């Protein structure tokens, strides 16, 4: 029997091998990330692994896929459920950028700390919103629906195996092999000819719409390794002649604690594709749909911490440095960042009682705090990643009303609860704090 987490780890490894074969610059990125991580580990000592063991960080990847309909999203969710990945967070990218990015998204990932430790693989998954009149008129919505209705992203055998893997928390060896082969295959770039006219029509509305609704399959559009020093990685990639987007997205580089997520990417490379022309003939051309991204992860912020981040992130770095907490202790005590706490019970107490407040507990050495790593995404960065790969901003008619989507809608569409990421971190933190307080009371 191959248990869920081993299926997830194997899937991430095979996807990486497939993507490296198809997008060689990805292999360079992984190589450089590995070298940077080695260097940070050598010079940074203990603190280099404060936000995850080097084994975890080295294996860590996130991918991204895009689907067309709630039905397709539900099927993708079934495949990820087989891998122990649940939908977390709702991201509305339609208003997060000036370019036309007509999608709403969630991320599939493990939610339990021990599962994240085993393998934290995640997939950012976006769904097209053809009912949004700012992007699609009624006629185009209808033709899109017909096109999407007629395609099959995931073969029934794959979905059956996924359902079984979820039910039985794993698969027998031989079935596991078949499942992994089919699953990786479902995310490869399809060799099928692209209908030129249909693709071009969608591209006028939005390149994202064409990438999703202009072809008969889905594909992993990037696979992102984690790096411990993203500024250094950026420098080394440019040195190797790979042009990166002009900035690193997310919080600035600074002396204080790393928080949330910093990401950067290289633009999609032109890849040869076949097209079916209006006269029925097949030609070759190229499309730019797959790109490379890398990320550095920091401490998860609470809602309040996130509000501070959102207020400061657009300002000058001096503003950030002046107002953002400079230490982990301050993040913890002000309730801006998430931590797990552990009681220190093996030290002389001299008859003292543990204080009630967190600051007192930390400063008095009663508790140790370990930061929780941010496991999710940032809507602005996500939209930026989409946008950096669009040569044409597309079109948006802001006079029209947008269709409404939120996490409740998405939970219903998927048929599974979309977790609130803040709730997940808070539960883990609160749990550890109650346990630590009990241990101190009992000691």
Instruction: Give the residue, chosen from 293, 328, 376, 407, that forms a contact with Ni ion under the rule CB under 5 A.
Output: 293
User: Cβ(293)–Cβ(251) under 8 Å?
Assistant: no
382 binds ligand OOG (CB under 6 A): yes
Contact between 179 and 168 (Cβ < 8 Å): no
**What DSSP character marks residue 47?**
G
- Binding segment for ligand OOG (CB under 6 A), chosen from 302-310, 363-371, 375-383, 434-442, is 375-383
Greatest Cα pair distance, the chain, in angstroms, is 90
| R_g of the chain computed on alpha carbons | 23
**Phi–psi pair at 244, nearest 5 degrees:** -95, 160
CB contact set of 193 (below 8 Å; sequence gap of 6+): 273, 274, 275, 276, 282
Residue 121 engages ligand OOG in binding (rule: CB under 6 A): no
- Give the dihedral of Cα atoms 393, 394, 397, 398; nearest 10 deg: -30
Q: Which residue has 């497939």 as its token pair?
A: 18
Residue 126 binds which entry of ligand OOG, Ni ion, none, CB below 5-8 Å type-dependent? ligand OOG
Count Cβ atoms below 10 Å from residue 34 Cβ, excluding itself.
Answer: 14
405 binds ligand OOG (CB under 6 A): no
Task: Rule CB under 6 A: say whether 126 interacts with ligand OOG.
Answer: yes
- Binding partner of residue 366 among Ni ion, ligand OOG, none, CB cut-off 5 to 8 Å per kind: none
Answer yes or no whether residue 33 interacts with ligand OOG by CB under 6 A.
Answer: no
- 124 is a contact residue toward ligand OOG (CB under 6 A): yes
Per DSSP, the three-state class of 240 is: coil
Residue number, 382 or 403, with CB nearest to Ni ion: 382
Q: Does 377 bind ligand OOG (CB under 6 A)?
A: yes
Residues 290-349 that bind ligand OOG (CB under 6 A): 293
CB 162 within 8 A of CB 170: no
Tokens of 87: 């939908």
- Pattern of binders to ligand OOG over 254-293, x per CB under 6 A? ---------x-----------------------------x
218 binds, among Ni ion, ligand OOG, none (CB under 5 to 8 A by kind): none
- Smallest separation, CB 381 to Ni ion (Å): 8
Least distance in angstroms from the C-beta of 25 to Ni ion: 15
Residue number of the CB closest to ligand OOG reads 382
Residue closer to Ni ion (CB basis): 258 or 293: 293
Q: Pick the binder of ligand OOG from 221, 387, 388, 428 (CB under 6 A).
A: 221
**x/- map, 83-102, ligand OOG, by CB under 6 A:** --------------------
**17: Cβ–Cβ under 8 A, 6 or more apart, which residues?**
none
Burial class (CB in 10 A: 0-12, 13-18, 19+), 349: exposed
Residue 432 tokens read as: 């550890």
Inter-residue contact 175 to 163 (CB < 8 Å)? no
- Please choose, out of 230-238, 271-279, 347-355, 379-387, the segment that lies near ligand OOG by the rule CB under 6 A: 379-387
The residues binding ligand OOG (CB under 6 A) are 64, 66, 124, 126, 221, 263, 293, 377, 381-382, 385-386
């Amino acid at each position: 029997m191959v248990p869920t987490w081993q299926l997830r780890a194997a899937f991430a490894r095979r996807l990486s091998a497939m993507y490296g074969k198809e997008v060689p610059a990805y292999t360079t990125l992984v190589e450089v990330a590995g070298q940077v991580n080695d260097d940070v580990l050598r010079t940074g000592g203990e603190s280099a692994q404060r936000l995850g063991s080097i084994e975890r960080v080295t294996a860590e990847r996130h991918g991204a896929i895009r689907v067309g309909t709630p039905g397709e999203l539900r099927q993708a969710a079934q495949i990820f459920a087989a891998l122990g990945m649940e939908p977390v967070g709702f991201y509305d990218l339609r208003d997060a950028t000036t370019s036309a990015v007509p999608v709403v998204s969630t991320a599939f990932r493990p939610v339990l700390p021990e599962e994240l430790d085993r393998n934290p693989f995640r997939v950012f998954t976006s769904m097209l919103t053809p009912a949004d009149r700012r992007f699609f008129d009624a006629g185009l919505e209808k033709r899109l629906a017909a096109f999407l209705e007629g395609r099959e992203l995931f073969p029934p055998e794959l979905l059956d195996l996924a359902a079984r893997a979820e039910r039985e928390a794993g698969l027998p060896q031989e079935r596991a092999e078949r499942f992994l082969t089919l699953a990786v295959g479902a995310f490869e770039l399809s060799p099928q000819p692209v209908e030129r006219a249909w693709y071009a029509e969608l591209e006028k509305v939005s390149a994202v719409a064409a990438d999703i609704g202009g072809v008969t399959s889905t594909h992993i559009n990037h696979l992102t390794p984690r790096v411990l020093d993203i500024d250094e990685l950026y420098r080394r990639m440019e040195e190797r002649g790979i042009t990166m987007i002009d900035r690193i997205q997310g919080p600035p580089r600074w002396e204080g604690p790393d928080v949330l997520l910093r990401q950067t990417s290289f633009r999609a490379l032109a890849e040869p594709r076949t097209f079916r022309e209006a006269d029925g003939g097949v030609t070759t051309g190229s499309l730019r749909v797959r790109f490379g991204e890398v990320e550095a992860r920091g401490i998860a912020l609470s809602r309040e911490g996130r509000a501070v981040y959102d207020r400061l992130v657009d300002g000058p770095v001096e503003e950030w440095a002046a107002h953002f907490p400079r230490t982990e202790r301050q993040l913890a005590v002000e309730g801006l960042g998430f931590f797990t706490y552990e009681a220190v019970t093996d030290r002389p107490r001299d008859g003292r009682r543990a204080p009630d407040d967190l600051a007192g507990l930390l400063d008095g050495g009663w508790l140790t705090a370990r930061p929780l790593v941010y496991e999710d995404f940032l809507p602005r960065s996500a939209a930026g990643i989409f946008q950096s790969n669009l040569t044409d901003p597309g079109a948006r008619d802001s006079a029209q009303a947008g269709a409404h989507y939120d996490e409740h809608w998405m939970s219903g569409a998927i048929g599974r609860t979309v977790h609130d990421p803040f709730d997940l971190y808070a539960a883990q933190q609160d749990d550890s704090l109650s346990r630590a307080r009990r241990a101190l009371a009992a000691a």
